Amino acid sequence: MRIGVYAGSFDPITKGHFDVIKKSLKITDKLIVAVMNNVNKKCWFSLEERKRLIEILVAEFGEKIEVKNFDGLLIDFMKENKAEIIIRGLRAVSDFEYELGYAFVNHDLSYGEVETIFVPAAREYMYLSASSVREAATVGARLDIFVDERIIDIIKRKADSLKG
């Protein structure tokens, strides 16, 4: 069974992330969406909240997708979950240069057991980022072009609660 891992902070999950998830199902037997706890990022949503947002969206895929939280090295997470494919979404050319470096590091750290596959985001999501979603939510702009309608109200409530 080919198990892939798509890791990120997903704060919040965007239509671009969801596009990469759907495309990844074509190249894996099972996909684990790994929600990272990145201490260098100040996230809007807690780890559990981010996991729940993703679970809402991927429920339609049943057991083909599992959502897990993780902290630490991605290679260790891969080994614990018997995964051998890292899925990385690409937007602009600048993403490729950054991600390629990580692909080589992960390949070396895994003694060649793990490969990275780059999945380009759909054209309409090339410049979409979670930070642009947060910014739009903060000023009350429309979110339907950035995130799935099933999670818009949750994001709006979070933005309102952070305004104080």
| Binding-site residues from annotation | 9-10, 17, 41, 74, 88-91, 99, 125-131
Q: Which residue ranges make up the annotated binding site for ATP?
A: 9-10, 17, 89-91, 99, 125-131
Q: Considering only CA atoms, which of 117, 116, 40 is closest in space to residue 71?
A: 40
Binding site membership for substrate: which residues?
9, 41, 74, 88
Q: In 10 A of CB 151, how many CB atoms? A: 19
Tally of CA atoms within 13 A in the half-sphere of 144 that contains its CB = 2
Edge-to-edge strand order for the sheet containing 85-90?
Answer: 65-70, 30-36, 3-8, 85-90, 115-120
